[in-house]
């Protein structure tokens, strides 16, 4: 069953975390802070800014405590961070983080490669993290990775996605972000998955997180909007990938999503032109091109 399109969509920009975690060039703290603060200035109200994981696993995020401490916070904006275990939660709390995200997977092989434990062990590990976070008034978002396929074991079962998502939701995650980590999903498959999930979890508590490896992200987002999804993860300039998913390219670009939503008359409260400028600045620093089609066209002065 399709729903009318939502009138408003919330964008979660994951560029400072999902984007920068996968860039080979080290990004100094002042550049990270400028990126995060500029995104807030452009109207993004949820910015995934850091990740309290092992620095041996993801060295790019080793400065997360310092980043979280130094962000000049704009009222009404959430600056969240990934947390895999109690050690990560401790660092998140110490550095003033008010929202975290735990991250599980719908693939056993990916779970082992990414967080060194099985799906069941990860869910057990999240229990005390969730309990302590919620007691301290910290909101928790939950990710399910590999919802449309896994780089190590191929197809993902929709029943596994639903099981992991439902478990995280029942534990107290206020929102479940469905990660197409390697971007192999296609629109009808996405709708099929959402049909299952919506029977178990309110649609308002679901978000979509597409990587654009196969150029399917916007089509998948359009399909998700038709199902009533109103929270979309994206990354300025299409930065990113996943260090534990070989070949995964960046997240869908925030610029591309905003351009499509604007064309559909869907409100986001975000200034697309400012996002284009931010995308240009960060990719100039990284020495890579803007990976957003709309970003490139608008920066070159093409009329929308
Ligand atoms: P492990 O090796 O099994 O953990 O890793 P451990 O508990 O045995 O600890 C090993 C060492 O790590 C110890 O240090 C710990 O202190 C340290 P040592 O004694 O060897 O010096 N350690 C930590 N240090 C800092 N912060 C921590 C922490 N925990 C342990 N929180 C672990 C298990 C989960 C830590 C590891 O596998 C890990 O950090 N994995 C993270 C991988 C990652 O960040 N992947 C990318 C994010 S997920 C993603 O991108 C997908 C997403 O975007 C959605 C999608 O697209 O699908 C979210
Ligand atoms: Mg991701």
Category of 228 on φ-ψ map: left (φ > 0), alpha (ψ -120 to 50) or beta: left
Q: What is the DSSP string of 37-64?
A: HHHHHTT-SEEEEEE-S-TTT-GGGTTH
**Which helix (H) or strand (E) covers residue 159, if one does?**
helix 158-171
Distance 57 CA to ligand 1 centre (A): 6
Is 173 annotated as catalytic? Answer: no
d(CA 173, CA 102): 9
pLDDT tens digit sequence for 161-182? 999 999 999 999 999 999 999 9
Q: Whose CA is nearest to atom 49 of ligand 1?
A: 242
d(CA 36, CA 294): 21
Per residue, what are the HEC states of 261-289? HHHCCCECCCCHHHHHHHHHHHHHHHCCC
Burial 140-163 (b: 16+ CB within 10 A, else e): bbbbbbbbbbbbbeeebebebbbb
- What residues are in contact with ligand 1 under a 6 Å CB criterion? 18, 21, 51-54, 56-58, 82, 84-85, 87-88, 103, 114-116, 143, 145, 179, 181, 209, 211, 242-244
Distance 246 CA to ligand 2 centre (A): 12
Q: Which atom of ligand 1 is nearest to the CA of 180?
A: 57
Which of 53, 80, 141 for mutating ligand 1's site (highest number of atoms within 8 Å of CB)?
A: 53
d(CA 64, CA 72): 15
- For 179, the 3-state DSSP assignment is strand
* Given the residues 146, 173, 242, 288, the one annotated as active site: 242
Q: What is the pTM of this model?
A: 0.97
pLDDT tens digit sequence for 79-89? 999 999 999 99
Q: Which atom of ligand 1 is nearest to the CA of 85?
A: 31
| Rounded alpha-carbon distances, angstroms, from residue 39 to 16, 36, 154, 224 | 10, 5, 35, 24
Q: How many CB atoms lie within 10 A of CB 226?
A: 17
193 pLDDT more than 80: yes
Banded model confidence at residue 252, pLDDT cuts 50, 70, 90: very high
d(CA 17, CA 200): 29
d(CA 221, CA 237): 17
245 pLDDT more than 70: no
Measure the CA angle with vertex 240, ends 236 and 243; round to 5°.
160
Phi (first) and psi of residue 235, to 5 degrees: -135, 130
d(CA 20, CA 235): 10
pLDDT tens digit sequence for 110-166? 999 999 999 999 999 999 999 999 999 999 999 999 999 999 999 999 999 999 999
Distance 85 CA to ligand 1 centre (A): 8
Confidence at residue 302, expressed as pLDDT on a 0 to 100 scale: 63
d(CA 60, CA 170): 32
């Amino acid at each position: 069953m399709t729903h009318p399109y939502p009138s408003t969509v919330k964008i979660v920009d994951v560029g400072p975390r999902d984007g920068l975690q996968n860039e080979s060039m080290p990004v100094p703290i002042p550049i990270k802070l400028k990126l995060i603060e500029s995104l807030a200035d452009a109207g993004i109200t949820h910015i995934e800014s850091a990740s309290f994981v092992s620095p041996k696993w993801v060295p790019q995020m080793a400065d997360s405590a310092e980043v979280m401490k130094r962000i000049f916070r704009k009222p009404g904006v959430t600056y969240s961070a990934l947390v895999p275990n109690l050690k990560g939660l401790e660092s998140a709390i110490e550095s003033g983080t008010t929202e975290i995200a735990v991250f599980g997977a719908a693939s056993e092989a990916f779970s082992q490669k990414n967080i060194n434990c099985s799906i069941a062990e990860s869910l057990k590990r999240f229990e005390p993290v969730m309990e302590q976070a919620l007691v301290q008034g910290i909101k928790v978002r939950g990710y399910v990775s590999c919802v449309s396929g896994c780089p190590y074991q191929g197809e993902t079962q929709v029943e596994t996605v639903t099981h992991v998502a439902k478990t995280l939701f029942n534990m107290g995650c206020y929102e479940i972000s469905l990660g197409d980590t390697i971007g192999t999903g296609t629109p009808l498959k996405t709708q099929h998955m959402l049909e299952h999930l919506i029977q178990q979890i309110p649609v308002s508590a679901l978000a979509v997180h597409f990587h654009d490896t196969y150029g399917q992200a916007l089509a998948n987002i359009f399909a998700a909007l038709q199902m009533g999804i109103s929270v979309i993860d994206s990354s300025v300039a299409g930065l990113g990938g996943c260090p534990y998913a070989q070949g995964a390219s960046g997240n869908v670009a925030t610029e591309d999503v905003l351009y499509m939503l604007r064309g559909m008359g869907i409100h986001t409260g975000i200034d697309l032109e400012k996002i284009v400028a931010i995308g240009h600045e960060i990719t100039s620093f990284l020495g890579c091109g803007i990976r957003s089609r709309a970003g490139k066209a608008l920066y070159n002065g093409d009329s929308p």
